[in-house]
């Protein structure tokens, strides 16, 4: 059962790793295409510097990709804010493109149009500001390359053609940026609506499971949880104790101080109950001044210190709106016996509560142990 429970999590982790590495895989494919175009330029004698410089540049370019690959293989990317490393990979790919574009004549634009393939993953993954920054950087550096080559190698330049090509490149890049901006707006709206939907679902779940006034569980939800707890305890996974709790003479609080003070008492007492129990225990308001405690993974010996502490702490509660008010609580506790039905268990706790109230209140009564109901 444990292995089966882990399978979805392991599958999810695997999917996340694939998603994070996809920009890297796409960049490697792009680097292969980039290398192929540069190699064709070399064969057509459009690459200044000859074969030695060509292989040195390609080696440098691929060294960077190997570093990124090593980071992914070693899992070092998991320590980063963006484990997919989209922006660093895109920056390296762009700089590699510009470096080779400086040494390529005649067909420089054929190399630069590959920049749009580099931009593609960033449309959906990068923040708009970073996306625009990368686009502007590429356009400006492309212009700088044209200017620098025109000074160093004027014989290899047709400035009119180069300027027209640069303008076309800049206009297309601006168009891609505009599309990215629109997509970013859509993503923001979808994200905002998702957050709103998530808050709505959370609020609905809270309304369905908690008491409006006190914030503890309501009757319906605690009974649903009790059914599951009883099923697990029936398999001897653990023991648990249920405690019916009733604030003493609460009607007099409402009559003498008003319902607003009564509400304050209920909320303060609910907070106290939550403070006294552990994270796995349940606190619920059944209605009016009646509450239910479910102490999970507890027997009566371990539950009684918690119950007594709650009873004593209740007498110490003070209220700003009614400084003279003192309250107490009566409780009836019952420990689950294997084979016992939930109705029978709750009935025993309720009978113990009745005994506590009939015996003078402000006390805890424990139901007698029973064997299997059958």
Residues 185 and 321 in one domain: no
243 and 178 both lie in a single domain: no
Q: Are 247 and 272 in contact (CB under 8 A)?
A: no
Residues 291/245, Cβ–Cβ less than 8 Å: yes
Tokens matching residue 300: 């009566």
**CA distance linking residue 338 with residue 162, whole number of Å:** 87
- pTM > 0.85: no
Same-domain pairing of 229 and 192: no
9 and 133 both lie in a single domain = yes
Question: Are 74 and 197 members of one domain?
Answer: yes
pLDDT per residue as tens, the chain (374 positions)? 334 333 444 444 444 444 444 567 777 888 888 999 999 999 988 888 889 999 999 999 999 999 988 888 888 888 888 888 889 999 999 999 999 999 998 888 989 999 998 888 888 888 889 999 999 999 999 999 999 998 888 887 788 889 999 999 999 999 999 998 898 888 888 888 998 888 888 888 878 889 989 999 999 999 999 999 999 998 887 899 999 999 999 999 999 999 999 999 999 999 999 999 988 899 999 999 999 999 999 999 999 999 999 999 999 999 988 999 999 999 999 999 988 999 999 999 999 999 999 999 999 999 987 654 44
Can you give the residue range of the structural domain that contains 16? 2-203
Asked whether residue 210 is assigned to any structural domain, the reply reads: no
Q: Considering the domain boundaries, does residue 104 fall inside one?
A: yes
Tokens describing residue 87 = 């922006």
Is residue 181 a part of any domain in this protein? yes
Identify whether residues 17 and 135 lie together within a single domain: yes
Regarding whether 145 and 257 lie in a shared domain, the answer is no
Same domain, 242 and 268: yes
Query: In terms of domains, do 165 and 311 share one?
Result: no
How many domains does one find in the chain? 2
Integer angstrom CA distances of residue 315 from 8, 258, 318: 49, 20, 9
Measure Cα distances from 342 to 68, 75, 238, 251 in Å: 59, 50, 15, 29
């Amino acid at each position: 059962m444990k292995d089966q429970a882990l399978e979805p999590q392991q599958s999810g982790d695997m999917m996340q790793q694939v998603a994070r590495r996809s920009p890297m895989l796409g960049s490697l494919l792009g680097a292969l295409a980039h290398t192929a175009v540069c190699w064709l330029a070399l064969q057509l004698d459009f690459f200044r510097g000859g074969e030695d410089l060509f292989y040195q540049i390609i080696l440098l370019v691929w060294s960077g990709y190997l570093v990124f690959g090593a980071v992914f293989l070693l899992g070092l990317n998991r320590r980063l804010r963006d484990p997919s490393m989209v922006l660093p990979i895109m920056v390296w790919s762009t700089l590699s493109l510009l470096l080779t574009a400086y040494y390529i004549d005649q067909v420089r634009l054929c190399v630069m149009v590959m920049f749009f393939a580099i931009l593609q993953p960033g449309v959906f993954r990068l923040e708009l500001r970073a996306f625009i920054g990368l686009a502007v950087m590429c356009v400006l550096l492309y212009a700088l390359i044209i200017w620098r080559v025109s000074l160093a190698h004027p014989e290899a330049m047709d400035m009119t053609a180069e300027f027209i090509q640069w303008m076309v490149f800049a206009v297309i890049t601006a168009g891609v940026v505009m599309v990215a901006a629109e997509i970013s707006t859509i993503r923001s709206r979808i994200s905002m609506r998702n957050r709103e939907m998530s808050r709505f679902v959370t609020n609905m779940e809270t309304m369905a499971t908690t008491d409006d006034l006190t914030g503890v569980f309501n009757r319906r939800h605690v009974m649903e949880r009790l059914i599951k707890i009883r099923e697990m305890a029936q398999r001897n996974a653990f023991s648990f104790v249920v405690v019916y709790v009733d604030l003493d003479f609460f009607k007099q609080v409402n009559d003498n101080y008003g319902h607003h003070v009564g509400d304050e008492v209920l909320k303060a007492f609910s907070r106290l109950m939550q403070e006294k129990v552990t994270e796995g225990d349940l606190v619920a308001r059944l209605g009016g001044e009646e509450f239910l405690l479910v102490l999970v993974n507890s027997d009566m010996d371990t539950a009684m210190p918690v119950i007594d502490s709650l009873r004593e702490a209740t007498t110490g509660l003070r209220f700003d709106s009614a400084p003279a008010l003192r309250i107490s609580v009566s409780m009836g506790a019952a420990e689950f016996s294997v084979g016992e039905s939930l109705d029978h268990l709750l009935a025993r706790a309720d009978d113990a509560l009745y005994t506590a109230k009939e015996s003078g209140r402000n006390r805890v009564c424990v139901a007698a142990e029973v064997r299997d109901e059958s």
